A and B are shown apart, each in its own frame.
Chain A
Amino acid sequence: MPSHYDVIIVGTGFASSFFLMRYLERVPQSSRILVLERGNEDTKAWQLANQKHTSIDPEDLVYNDNPGKEWYTSPGFGGNSKCWMGGTTRMMPGDFKLKSRYGVGMDWPISYDDLEAHYGVVEQVMLVSGPADSPMPRSRPVPLMPHRFSDPDALLKKHFPDGWYQMSTARASVATGKRGICCASGICALCPVDAKFTIQNGLAEIYRDPRVTLRLRAEAQTVETAAGVARAVNYLHEKKQSRDTADLIVLGASALFNPHILLRSGFTHPLIGRRLHEQMSVYVTVDLKGVKCYNGSTVLSGLGYLFYEGDHRADRAACMIETWSSPFAYKLDGALRMERGRWNERMIMGFLFDDIPSEANRVTVSSSNPSVANVHFEDFSEYAKKAADRIPQMIDKLAEALPIERLVSTSAGTTAAHIQGTVVMGDDPATSVVDRYLVHHEYRNLLVLGASSYPTASPAYPTLTVSALSLWAADHLLGGTST
């Protein structure tokens, strides 16, 4: 027997959780909210015991036809908050106005100013650590004191005071009462001291609200529509077919599964699933003379904005640089220098470039198994690759501050672990699927949250913007402002 709810939310990651947080603040106690989560509630204890962040193999849900390009995701309660590294950079004002400022890509339908207050709220909820100064305007200070620079970061800050900053991160720099303090273990996906914000350690209480029914192991399959209104969600729960109706339906199932659900539902906008993108990442290892590395207080200790904003964006991508401060971090092998007395005189940096999304890169529904999302990615844009080709010149610039002895290696990453695009936002229904408030252009009681709405990439980590967009969408829907 189907039930009726005020709202059905699909997914329990950042996008859904920040929307739900704000929704619960504004609606009466009589409200009924159903949340559908495809995976299990893999607790932190379970994750540590099993040495993995999800009990579902993501590769069972996604068929990737390009093995050279990975898509990193974590199904289950809390979504990618389980496996993220905790980077919380804001986007720069220019990221929202790529077309009007630089004549490339497209503009977002909203501006930095629209999200500024929401960024501040999310930073407060996540207890973000960051610098007192900032490369972008901000109306409130960062909640927690900054992490400590590594020695090369300190040199870069001294030489480029307006170009180098402490990391903005949800990896705690001081005790927060709930989370441990980050100590740069370099295994953020399974942080052994639970230092980073996750939905499980930071927002789990909203799912225990009596108004909320959380249904785990519930795979949302289709959104049912009639007469221009989204009516119901059909889903598989514990292997049984179910259907519930609602006045409002909210998809927050990631940039892989938001379009997948819409396509399975028969939505036909030509852009659904298209413009899949993320940043192009390149890792650079250099040897330094007499400067000790890996001695910051967190795994990524510094952020470089030297090559971010500027007229070069008319020609090539912006770049954000991150400094790695752990000798053992993911694929960064051989991080120690095999020379007497110089073991940690080696520096690893990540260079992240924004990308101009291509419609050829897309998500579709598997014809053999509709529960599986097919992912097709051809290549990054020439815009991104052109910027990456300039890494040697960027290293030359950094060498003004750092005693760089030699470039050991550069290697392109197979994933930046940021999945974006696929249900693009915009003001024009012909060129976008959802509007500036993430409301579907045609079905006005259907919201599609998350990084799927991104019209273009930014070099910035996407999570803070994803979460701020959910508050922005909720405020528009319910009235009120971020406080």
Chain B
Amino acid sequence: MMNRRRAILGGLGLAGVAGLGAWGLGQWGLHREIVSVLHRRLSFLKLDDEGVRAFAKDQTAAAFNKKIPSVARLRYHFLSTGAPSSKRFYRSSDQRSRVARLEDTLISNYLLSSDFFSNGADESRTIKYVAYYDPMRGCQNPFARPAVDPRATA
């Protein structure tokens, strides 16, 4: 009886260690991939290496911090997978691959998190990471202009 319990606990312990290992490996892999994508796709810009790594760390944390979906949401996703195509309205003509779109979103996130747009999108300057882009902080859209143009009333 005791041996069996030990075996089960041992198995659970090993699974836990393996899970933690996979978790860590996943984070490390994602971090590395983000750094690689940014350097590859933005090779024509000067990137601050330390800032890129800091962004990759924050982006990885954001990806891993996503809340665990509720049972209802999981059920929804499960059903959605098997839904007949005639009942799925979300069809896209986007020619980019899913990976390319993910990369585009990642790069957008990086640039919006940097001083790039606040410096007038000057491509000759070294881009510095400022803080992870979070629209929840309010008024982070670098392109938006106020309804009342201050120059018009000056």
Contact = CB atoms under 8 A, between A and B. Distances in A.
Contact of B72 (A57, A146, A184, A327): A57
B129 to A, nearest CB: 17
Contacts of A66: 83, 87
B87 A69 contact: yes
Interface in A313-351: 325-328, 333-336, 338, 340-341, 343-344
Contacts of B123: 340-341
A325 to B, nearest CB: 7
A192 interface: yes
Contact of A327 (B89, B93, B108, B149): B108
Interface residues of A, number: 60
Given A334-B101, A334-B104, A338-B107, A68 B80 contact: yes
A137 to B, nearest CB: 25
Contacts of B6: none
A344 B143 contact: yes
Nearest to A146: B147
Nearest to B86: A379
Contacts of A60: 70, 72
A453 to B, nearest CB: 25
B139 A183 contact: yes
B33 to A, nearest CB: 17
Given A296-B145, A336-B108, A409 B92 contact: yes
Given A68-B80, A187-B135, A333 B105 contact: yes
A292 B117 CA distance: 13
Nearest to A195: B138
Contacts of A338: 41, 104, 107
Interface in B57-95: 70, 72-73, 75-77, 79-80, 83, 86-95
A408 B94 contact: yes
Given A328-B112, A411-B93, A295 B135 contact: no
A334 B96 contact: yes
Given A187-B135, A334-B96, A410-B92, A173 B112 contact: no
Main secondary structure of the interface of A (DSSP, over half): loop
Given A184-B141, A190-B136, A341-B123, A413 B147 contact: no
Interface residues on chain B, size class: 35 or more
A409 B94 contact: yes
Given A326-B141, A334-B101, A343-B121, A148 B76 contact: no
B79 to A, nearest CB: 4
B140 A185 contact: yes
Nearest to B102: A333
Given A340-B44, A343-B111, A410-B93, A292 B143 contact: yes
A327 B112 contact: yes
A115 to B, nearest CB: 27
Contact of A186 (B75, B107, B141): B141
Given A181-B146, A186-B135, A334 B108 contact: yes
Interface centre among A187, A336, A340, A409 (most CB of B within 10 A): A336
Nearest to B108: A336
B144 interface: yes
A341 B122 CA distance: 8
A190 B135 CA distance: 10
B148 interface: yes
Interface in A116-131: 129
Given A174-B147, A336-B104, A185 B80 contact: no
A192 B135 contact: yes
Interface in A137-177: 145-148, 173-174
A67 interface: yes
A338 B105 CA distance: 10
Interface in B20-56: 41, 44
B5 interface: no
B4 interface: no
A297 B101 CA distance: 27
A395 interface: no
Contact of A296 (B111, B137, B144): B144
A412 B89 contact: yes
A297 B145 CA distance: 5
A180 to B, nearest CB: 8
Given A185-B138, A285-B94, A338-B107, 16 more contacts: A59-B70, A59-B75, A60-B70, A66-B83, A67-B77, A67-B79, A190-B136, A292-B143, A295-B144, A326-B141, A334-B96, A336-B107, A379-B87, A407-B93, A410-B93, A412-B89
Interface of A: 48, 51, 57, 59-60, 64, 66-69, 129, 145-148, 173-174, 180-187, 190, 192-193, 285, 292-298, 325-328, 333-336, 338, 340-341, 343-344, 378-380, 407-414
14 contacts: A60-B72, A68-B89, A146-B147, A181-B146, A183-B138, A184-B143, A186-B135, A297-B146, A341-B123, A344-B143, A379-B87, A408-B94, A411-B91, A413-B89
- The 10 tightest CB contacts between A and B, nearest first, are A59-B72, A68-B88, A409-B94, A67-B80, A334-B104, A192-B138, A411-B92, A184-B144, A183-B139, A173-B147
